[in-house]
A and B are shown apart, each in its own frame.
Chain A
Amino acid sequence: KNEVEQSPQNLTAQEGEFITINCSYSVGISALHWLQQHPGGGIVSLFMLSSGKKKHGRLIATINIQEKHSSLHITASHPRDSAVYICAVRGGNEKLTFGTGTRLTIIP
């Protein structure tokens, strides 16, 4: 079993829909990161959180430390949100461990 599990693996939605991507992890962590990767490879850090909830524009990230679970939400989705979203956790060994990613496609 992978230390970091993401679901769904692929998600296709219509423009304007509310999107939720889930991340579950099995180890103790000091921080959880949500990353966005567009075609071509560049990775952008969206959020870094260790508790509670963070919001940036249309993106919201939450984490439940007790349940070892985090969610990334996108409100009013837009085709430019189409990308791979990756969850990564920093464990006690200070190494980043990555989920396999969720490929999101928003159809106009």
Chain B
Amino acid sequence: KAGVTQTPRYLIKTRGQQVTLSCSPISGHRSVSWYQQTPGQGLQFLFEYFSETQRNKGNFPGRFSGRQFSNSRSEMNVSTLELGDSALYLCASSLARGGYNEQFFGPGTRLTVL
């Protein structure tokens, strides 16, 4: 069974641009969560999608948004990029939401904002 895939793996953007990252969950998994990892703040929860609906959201500005498609693939978008958005963005999928559900992480997308 293929693991969680994320594209692209690396991305360089400039301030003010926008970016879209993609995540394909493990087949059969319906929940997709997104996380941001930076050296200063560590890992932080961005949002969770289940059945094409955002179920939970972390403390990030509205520039960060996402969506989930009917095949459970998810995208996240960051508009008006700032230098501080440089980070490793990880997505994770699980069979169902929350509680006692193991999360499987993708390799991440490393975003650099210049």
Label chain B's interface by main secondary structure. Answer: strand
Measured CA separation A55–B69 after assembly (Å):
37
Query: Do A95 and B45 touch across chains, with their CB atoms under 8 A apart?
Result: yes
- Residue A31 lies at the interface, judged by CB distance under 8 Å to chain B: yes
The A-B contact count (CB < 8 A) is 58
Measured CA separation A5–B35 after assembly (Å):
19
- Residue A7 lies at the interface, judged by CB distance under 8 Å to chain B: no
Given contacts A41-B110, A42-B108, contact A30 B43 (CB under 8 A): no
Total contacting residues, chain A, CB less than 8 A: 24
- Residue A25 lies at the interface, judged by CB distance under 8 Å to chain B: no
Given contacts A86-B43, A95-B45, contact A31 B107 (CB under 8 A): no
Partner of A98, one of B44, B55, B97, B99: B44
Query: Do B107 and A48 touch across chains, with their CB atoms under 8 A apart?
Result: no
Query: Do B99 and A90 touch across chains, with their CB atoms under 8 A apart?
Result: yes
| B-side contacts of A97, CB under 8 Å | 45
- Residue A107 lies at the interface, judged by CB distance under 8 Å to chain B: no
| B-side contacts of A48, CB under 8 Å | 100-102
| A-side contacts of B99, CB under 8 Å | 30-31, 90, 94
A62–chain B nearest beta-carbon distance, Å: 17
Query: Do A100 and B104 touch across chains, with their CB atoms under 8 A apart?
Result: no
| B-side contacts of A41, CB under 8 Å | 37, 88, 90, 107-108, 110
Query: Do B105 and A101 touch across chains, with their CB atoms under 8 A apart?
Result: no
- Residue A33 lies at the interface, judged by CB distance under 8 Å to chain B: yes
Measured CA separation A100–B40 after assembly (Å):
10
Query: Do A30 and B56 touch across chains, with their CB atoms under 8 A apart?
Result: no
Partner of B42, one of A31, A33, A100: A100
Which chain A residue shows the least CB distance to B37?
Answer: A41
User: Which residues of A line the B interface, CB within 8 A?
Assistant: 30-31, 33, 35, 40-45, 48, 50, 86, 88, 90, 93-101
Sample of 7 A–B contacts (CB below 8 Å): A41-B90, A41-B108, A43-B90, A45-B102, A48-B100, A94-B98, A95-B48
User: Which residues of B line the A interface, CB within 8 A?
Assistant: 33, 35, 37, 42-45, 48, 55-56, 58, 88, 90, 92, 97-105, 107-108, 110
